[in-house]
Amino acid sequence: MSRYAREFDTDWETIDKDEATERAYAIGVAERLGEYNREELERIYAEMGSAYQKSLVELAYDEGRNEAAEIAETTDADGTAVWEDLVNGEKSYIAEDEMPTGGRDGLPEALEPSELLDRQEVDSTERVDKPNFLDR
């Protein structure tokens, strides 16, 4: 059973535009992961009543394919992680551009401590010292 069939019920009779675009997106992701489901995609196209709705379904399908390809190229995430992230919204990997820089404590550079906030050593008797201009 494919990821798509596990996630979505394939025994539908009618489908609205929003659900059609969601399903087309998932089919695009699944196709990029090697699971082809053209019959379901054709059923979704056939259910759409206007050219505008069909174009939205096509855009969602293309977007799913493109985003899955981008994640596959920029990370070492497996197919299950890509599916969970894109279709279910549960990210389970770290992209290369999101990796900690490894500075002090592995924090990103922007979060590392700054010297600007360090307190300066203050001599408590400095206030009562003789001013420099009085020295000859």
Summarize pLDDT for 48-74 with one digit per residue, the tens: 989 999 999 999 999 999 998 888 887
Q: For the CA atoms of the chain, what is the radius of gyration?
A: 29
Question: Which long-range contacts link 11-15 to residues 24+ away (Cβ below 8 Å)?
Answer: 14/47, 15/44, 15/47
What DSSP state is assigned to residue 93?
Answer: S
CB 28 within 8 A of CB 60: yes
Task: Say which amino acid occupies 93.
Answer: Y
Cα→Cα distances 107→11, 74, 75, 93, 113, Å: 49, 21, 20, 18, 10
Burial class (CB in 10 A: 0-12, 13-18, 19+), 28: buried
Res. 105: pLDDT tops 60: no
Res. 94: pLDDT tops 90: no
Res. 96: pLDDT tops 70: no
On average, the pLDDT of the chain sits at: 81
pTM above 0.85, yes or no: no
Res. 31: pLDDT tops 60: yes
Count of alpha carbons within 13 Å of 119, Cβ hemisphere only? 3
